[in-house]
Structure 1
């Protein structure tokens, strides 16, 4: 019951979230029966509603944040990347997956809106959050591109690769561009986190979130180094990316999920 009361504490945000979830759900259910322009229009409407949900939630006082809003913002950033890329590469097809992810993310953030932050320990703390969420979004985009690359490779081996499909080499190049950009942002996030921790606690605090973040950063660095020096590609590179993304997911989202849901603590 506390979760439900928190979810509907702000009726405007709840109504927008319901609208965004319905738009995502409509596309997920009808993606095989709508034309490309219709699918893009539905996805764009869901994107706008999702953005309004985020703006409404972040403008509430006191500010709430947690694993639910983090997942929701990450999904919105991922959808933004797809909408831009689908203009550049019309053959890219991931609408159904993104629609399901978007619907799930909006509903998770609605039910688990996070903890109250009546007073932030530093005015620069939102910058740390923004860097971290941006890193989440870029690495999530890399994971989706890697999944599309694996699916294309499987179709090619089975002789079912359509002529209009996106070239595998293009997907691979885009994957590593997102990995590189995500690594840079994750590095900035760790540096900002260490600075804030030392400024507030007079020392760098090591916990589960920090440990998993460093593991993600290190494994991503190994992936980029292996790609540069050893030419890693295919399954080896994709598995390394999945491991790094898994560590990153466990860092903030995983630790906050345990605190907010399992332990029922802020």
Structure 2
């Protein structure tokens, strides 16, 4: 097991209270209990999740790690969903977002991560924000791609589409999220390459995090060029999106998971 003492010392009663309250609120839309109740509880969960994240980053003992990154990503996805609901009220992803939100908020309470350095560069939070924002947009793209895949399968079976949004609209939204995430990822990598010494006290170097990040960037760049020049769409495009998202996940969350959990366990 992961060191209980480590988790206990890094996680306050307030942190657990916010995490469990948010998880309970997320459970209502995840269980598909009523339209009105699901909408209301998702809004409450969003606010509790935000408070949980703020306390973890700005509270008495600020921490950040792989679970925090995943939790912020899920929260950003929920924020995107809230905006989309104003434009596409028929969008049906509340149950999935409820499951993701509940899982990531509890995971972040279990594994709060490493203490944030007080003497870190003032620009470091901006760099982290760019990276996490790209995570959020790519995660939203993955969810929309999954809905698009599901809709295509139902069309082939001559069944009614149940995603709530026309297939072509889903496709446009998916690649808008991919484009936005790609430019944020580009800015993140450029900042790390040009200002690595200022941000982290060392120049850019080719570790596993950098390699996976660049491989992810190349995958998304190929996907966007292929779509613009050759009209790539459907399964081929979706599989490339999944591959790029997996590489990006391994780049930060995967490497931090190894350091914070596996190495902690071995130690």
Secondary structure class of the residue paired with 2:115: strand
1:4 Cα offset (Å): 3.6
Q: Among residues 17, 20, 23, which one is paired with 2:19 in the alignment? A: 17
Matches within 5 A, 1:193-204: 193-199=192-198, 201=201, 203-204=203-204
CA distance in 2, matches of 1:21, 1:7: 19
Partner residue, 1:116: 115
> Which blocks of at least 5 consecutive residues in structure 2 are unaligned?
none
CA distance in 2, matches of 1:58, 1:235: 39
- After superposition, give the CA deviation of every residue in 1:181-211 in whole Å (9 maximum; x if it has no partner): 0000000000111133244555322111111
Partner residue, 1:216: 216
Residue 80 in structure 1 maps to residue 79 in structure 2: yes
CA distance in 2, matches of 1:4, 1:125: 25
The answer to whether the Cα contact below 8 Å between 1:3 and 1:111 also exists between their aligned partners in 2 is no
CA distance in 2, matches of 1:165, 1:57: 36
Alignment TM-score, normalising by the size of structure 1: 0.93
The answer to whether the Cα contact below 8 Å between 1:78 and 1:137 also exists between their aligned partners in 2 is yes
The answer to whether the Cα contact below 8 Å between 1:216 and 1:244 also exists between their aligned partners in 2 is yes
- Indicate the RMSD between aligned Cα atoms, in angstroms: 1.8
The answer to whether the Cα contact below 8 Å between 1:62 and 1:118 also exists between their aligned partners in 2 is no
Secondary structure class of the residue paired with 1:122: coil
Alignment TM-score, normalising by the size of structure 2: 0.93
1:6 Cα offset (Å): 3.6
- After superposition, give the CA deviation of every residue in 1:55-112 in whole Å (9 maximum; x if it has no partner): 1111124421110110110000001111111221122111111100000000110000
Secondary structure class of the residue paired with 2:63: strand
Residue 27 in structure 1 maps to residue 7 in structure 2: no
CA distance in 1, matches of 2:19, 2:248: 26
Matches within 5 A, 1:1-266: 1-6=4-9, 8=11, 10-29=12-31, 31=32, 33-35=33-35, 37-162=36-161, 165-199=164-198, 201=201, 203-264=203-264
Aligned length: 262
> Which blocks of at least 5 consecutive residues in structure 1 are unaligned?
none
Change (3 A) 1:62 1:250: same
CA distance in 2, matches of 1:166, 1:202: 47
Runs of 4+, deviation exceeding 3 Å: 162-165, 198-202
